[in-house]
Structure 1
Amino acid sequence: MRTDDGMELKDILADWRDYDDAAFRLGIFLGVFPPDQRFNLVKKMFWVDGYPLGDMLVDLLDRMAQAGVLLKDEDDARYKWNPAPIDLS
């Protein structure tokens, strides 16, 4: 999947990103937020429990990490694309 500017998710998450930034960028990639959405207007949904959309996006990051698509730095709550191929066996 590509965004209008041609970037793939693996490019967007190529470097370590804090969980809230990674979730926000995933939301933009999926079309949940418009491409010109400013993070400071939605950051509360990632920092406060009880926002289903924020919880869902972070949960999706966690699931992608469990599947080996992303790497997760537990200490700093960061994510990035796993450059190694996924073991499908």
Structure 2
Amino acid sequence: MELKDVLADWRDYDDAAFRLGIFLGVFPPDQKFNWVKPMFWQDGYPVGDMLVDILDRMAEAGVLLKDEEDVRYKWNPAPIDLS
């Protein structure tokens, strides 16, 4: 499954970061979200910060859409402007 399929619908930032982590191999495919959820909600977890930072950078590049109010992400269905 491609990341664009995983993030096809709006996902809260922690769930989107978790799914990105699975996609990148940071977490095993059978990892339970509840076991790693604190790393997205508490300070001091560099891996959680890194994954959310990647989501933000993907949104800045136009790959993802970001809903600032609800802090959630989804794949941008529009083609990226490479100009």
**Which residue identity lines up with residue 80 of structure 1 in the other structure?**
K
1:16 equivalenced with 2:13 (yes/no): no
| TM-score, length basis structure 1 | 0.93
Q: 2:76 corresponds to which residue? A: 82
In structure 1, stretches of 5+ residues that fail to align are 1-6
- For the aligned residue pairs, the C-alpha RMSD in angstroms reads 0.3
Work out which of the residue numbers 15, 18, 21 in structure 2 matches 1:27: 21
The residue correspondences of 1:5-84 to structure 2 (distance < 5 A) are 7-84=1-78
| TM-score, length basis structure 2 | 0.99
> 1:22-70 CA distances to partner (integer Å, 9 max, x unpaired)?
0000000000000000000000000001210000000000000000000
CA–CA distance in 1 between the matches of 2:43 and 2:11? Answer: 20
Fraction of identical pairs, as percent: 88
**Aligned positions, number:** 83
Structure 1 moving runs of 4+ over 3 Å: none
